[in-house]
């Protein structure tokens, strides 16, 4: 039971329970209704994958799920958090703050990164998160035909490429995301750039929301990142495609020109120290705004 201060009490819902989220149908269905209530595009499967890869808390009032928060530890020093939603009828009454407190209790000393909407920004500042960069969401239904690039260095990844993809992602992200990469390769596909027998870049694409989502994209140069993204634009011509790029990727204008305009952006915020990155390759597109 939540212990809320008098001035924060939710008068119509005096008894709110915060508890771990499970993968059972009632939790997934309630979570889906919650994300739909704030017009987020999550499908039930997207919630399932998010929970399988991390941990979640739900707030329940009178048997209805009214708020969520999830987090994804990567190693023992760093995690991302996200899918922080309070149902519109319950917003502005301290529930977001309560969920943050409980998540911070659960994550202890882990450094935390999140991508904040305008609505969430004040809440996260209160908990010591500070702005570090931006993430830009590009999406649209692609034209029915997107011709492949003539001189593309990209090929579809094989199962045997997975260890190299995991290693490259770890160098660019700063922490190992083995389970995430394995899950994405099960529910989607990967493409790589290989030079002199070494994998120097990769991209993944999976079903998400209204269509397909491309990410992560890790590459040695912006030109390689464009080739990797184009590979999936050609593969998914005629369908809805989303990509969340880092603010300093330099890919925004190219995506817009190629039919994927920006539809919004979020602010990347951090609490604590993000692990250092290594190697030449860098992350051009996120796995998702929540996964980082
Ligand atoms: C962001 C959100 C989770 C906040 O939850 P909440 O229960 O409404 O927040 P709280 O009542 O605990 O308020 C926490 C702080 O945020 C501020 N806040 C809440 N909603 C806000 C809004 N829409 N715009 C600006 N500030 C807001 C409050 O004033 C409060 O600040 P204070 O401590 O200085 O008084 C909720 O508004 C929401 O679900 N929004 C839609 C989905 C979303 O954008 N989620 C964030 C994803 S990163």
Residue 183 lies in a domain: yes
Burial 188-217 (b: 16+ CB within 10 A, else e): bbbbbbbeeeebbbbbbbbebbebbbbbbb
Residues 49 and 189 in one domain: no
Kindly write down the DSSP assignment for every residue of 150-187, as one continuous string. Answer: TT--EEEPPGGGHHHHHHHHHHHHSS--HHHHHHHHHH
- Looking at the fold, whether 280 and 148 belong to one and the same domain comes out as yes
The CATH number assigned to the domain holding 98 equals 3.40.630.30
Which atom in ligand 1 lies closest to the alpha carbon of residue 114?
48
Of 109, 125, 146, which marks where a domain is finished? 109
Tokens of 18: 């915060």
Query: Which distant-in-sequence residues (6+ apart) come within 8 Å of 205 by Cβ?
Result: 188, 189, 190, 191, 212, 213, 214, 215, 232, 235, 236
Q: Report the distance separating Cα 176 and Cα 220, nearest Å.
A: 18
In a domain, 52, yes or no: yes
Instruction: Evaluate: CB of 271 within 6 angstroms of ligand 1.
Output: no
User: Does residue 291 lie in a domain region?
Assistant: no
Instruction: Decide whether any atom of ligand 1 lies within 6 Å of the 38 Cβ.
Output: yes
State the residue for tokens 């922080």.
84
Q: Is residue 131 part of a domain?
A: no
Quick one: which atom of ligand 1 is closest to the CA of 86? 39
Q: What is the pLDDT of residue 13?
A: 56
Whether residues 73 and 201 share a domain: the answer is no
Shared domain for 147 and 102, answered yes or no, is no
Task: Tell me, using a 6 A CB cutoff, whether residue 123 lines ligand 1.
Answer: yes
Looking at residue 15, what is its pLDDT? 86
The verdict on the CB of residue 86 being under 6 Å from ligand 1 is: yes
**Rounded to an integer, what distance in angstroms lies between the CA atom of residue 186 and that of residue 90?**
37
128: in domain = no
pLDDT value for 14: 65
Distance separating alpha carbons of residues 82 and 100, to the nearest angstrom: 10
pLDDT for 30 equals: 98
- Separation of CA 190 and ligand 1 centre (Å): 36
Residue with CA nearest ligand 1 atom 4: 96
Residues 82 and 143 in one domain: no
Is the same domain home to 160 and 281? Answer: yes
Domain identity same for 160 and 280: yes
Pocket test for ligand 1, best of 90, 122, 124, 288 (most atoms within 8 A of CB): 122
Q: Which residues of the chain have pLDDT under 50?
A: 1-12
Nearest to 105 by CA among 175, 174, 20: 20
If one counts the domains in the chain, the total is 2
User: How many angstroms does the Cα of residue 67 sit away from the middle of ligand 1?
Assistant: 12
State the closest ligand 1 atom to the C-alpha of 122, by its place in the atom list counted from 1.
Answer: 16
Which residue range is the domain that position 176 belongs to? 137-262+274-285
User: Which of 86, 128, 286 is the best mutation target for the ligand 1 pocket, counting ligand atoms within 8 Å of the beta carbon and taking the most?
Assistant: 86
One domain, residues 199 and 258: yes
* Cα–ligand 1 centroid distance for 9 (angstroms): 16
CA–centroid distance, 121 to ligand 1, in Å, is: 8
For 36-94, the pLDDT digits (tens) are: 999 999 999 999 999 999 999 999 999 999 999 999 999 999 999 999 999 999 999 99
Number of CB atoms found within 10 A of residue 41's CB: 15
Question: What is the DSSP pairing of strand 78-86 with strand 64-74?
Answer: antiparallel
d(CA 126, CA 142): 40
Going from the Cα of 96 to the center of ligand 1, the distance in angstroms, rounded, reads 6
**Is residue 85 in a domain?**
yes
Q: Give CA–CA dist 237/221, Å, rounded.
A: 24
Please state the atom number of ligand 1 nearest to the C-alpha of residue 100.
12
**198-208 and 78-86 beta bridge pairing:** unpaired
Burial of 95 (0-12, 13-18, 19+ CB in 10 A): buried
Q: How far apart are CA 269 and CA 261, in angstroms?
A: 24
The reply to whether 25 falls in a domain is yes
Residue of the CA atom closest to atom 33 of ligand 1: 123
C-alpha 82/C-alpha 211 separation (Å) is 21
For residues 256 and 150, state if they share a domain: yes
């Amino acid at each position: 039971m939540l212990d809320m201060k008098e001035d924060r009490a939710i008068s119509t819902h005096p008894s709110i329970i915060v508890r771990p989220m499970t993968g059972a149908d009632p939790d997934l269905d309630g979570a889906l209704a919650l994300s739909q209530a704030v017009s987020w595009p999550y499908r039930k499967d997207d919630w399932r994958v998010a929970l399988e890869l991390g941990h979640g808390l739900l707030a329940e009032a009178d048997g209805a799920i009214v708020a969520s928060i999830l987090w994804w530890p990567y190693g023992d020093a760093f995690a991302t958090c996200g899918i922080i939603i309070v149902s519109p009828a319950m917003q502005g009454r301290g529930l977001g703050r309560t969920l943050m407190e409980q998540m911070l209790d659960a994550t202890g000393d882990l450094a935390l990164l999140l991508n904040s909407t305008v609505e969430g920004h004040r809440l996260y500042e209160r908990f010591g998160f500070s702005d570090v960069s931006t993430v830009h969401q590009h999406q649209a239904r692609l034209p029915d035909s997107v011709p492949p690039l003539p001189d593309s260095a990209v090929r579809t990844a094989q199962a045997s490429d997975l260890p190299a993809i995991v290693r490259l992602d770890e160098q660019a992200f700063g922490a190992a995301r083995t389970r995430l990469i394995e899950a994405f390769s099960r529910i989607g596909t990967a493409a790589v750039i290989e030079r002199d027998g070494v994998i120097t870049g990769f991209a993944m694409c999976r079903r998400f929301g209204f269509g397909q989502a491309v990410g992560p994209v890790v590459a040695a140069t912006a030109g390689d990142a464009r080739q990797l993204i184009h590979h999936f634009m050609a593969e998914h011509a005629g369908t809805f495609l989303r990509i969340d790029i880092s603010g300093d990727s330099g890919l925004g204008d190219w995506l817009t020109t190629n039919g994927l305009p920006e539809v919004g952006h979020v602010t990347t915020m951090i609490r604590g120290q993000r692990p250092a990155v290594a190697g030449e390759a860098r992350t051009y597109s996120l796995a998702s705004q929540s996964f980082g």
